[in-house]
């Protein structure tokens, strides 16, 4: 019997979310190196990434962006650091997903669709938390 090929979404989630140390490495070094033309505020983002925030982002990922997990993460991140923390962790998560999708060799349309689904879902579910508007 042949196994069904993995969908792009299944492939995205096949590799576990990075550890805190790996995500910190990604934010501080890998992301700027992969995007030298953009001056991303990765030092500021990293200042808003603690072990608690990492665990919340991991939960969002592991749940495949389950609404309850996303709302809980947004509320907790807001309580810990307000809008600045929410923005930083949103950007970290979206850039992580984007870089992982790039590594998968998807078509531009596949990449855009999957990346947009993640970003829009978090944006809308965080709507109304603290100063987050959607």
Question: pLDDT tens across 59-109, in order?
Answer: 999 999 999 999 999 999 999 999 999 999 999 999 999 999 998 988 899
DSSP string, 6-23: PPHHHHHHHSPPPPHHHH
- Domain residue limits at 50: 18-125
- Interatomic CA distance for residues 20 and 83, integer angstroms: 21
| Domain-embedded: residue 42 | yes
Distance of CA 3 to the CA centre of its chain: 29
Domain membership flag for residue 50: yes
Residue 3 lies in a domain: no
Length of the chain: 134
Whether 133 maps to a domain, the answer reads no
> How many domains in the chain?
1
Residue 55 lies in a domain: yes
In-domain check, residue 5: no
119 domain residue, yes or no: yes
60 part of a folded domain: yes
Give pTM, 2 decimals.
0.91
Cα(58)–Cα(62) distance, integer angstroms: 6
pLDDT of the residue at 4? 63
Q: What's the chain's Rg over C-alpha atoms?
A: 15
């Amino acid at each position: 019997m042949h196994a069904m090929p993995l969908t792009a979404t299944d492939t995205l989630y096949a590799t576990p979310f990075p550890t805190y140390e790996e995500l910190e490495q990604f934010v501080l070094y890998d992301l700027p190196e992969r995007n030298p033309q953009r001056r991303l505020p990765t030092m500021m983002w990293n200042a808003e990434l603690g072990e608690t925030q990492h665990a919340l982002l991991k939960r969002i990922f592991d749940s495949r962006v389950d609404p309850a997990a996303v709302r809980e993460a947004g509320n907790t991140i807001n309580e810990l650091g307000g809008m600045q923390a929410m923005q930083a962790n949103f950007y970290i998560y979206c850039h992580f997903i984007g870089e992982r999708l790039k590594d998968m060799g998807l078509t531009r349309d596949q990449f855009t669709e999957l990346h947009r689904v993640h970003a829009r879902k978090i944006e809308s579910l965080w709507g109304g938390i603290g100063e987050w508007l959607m």
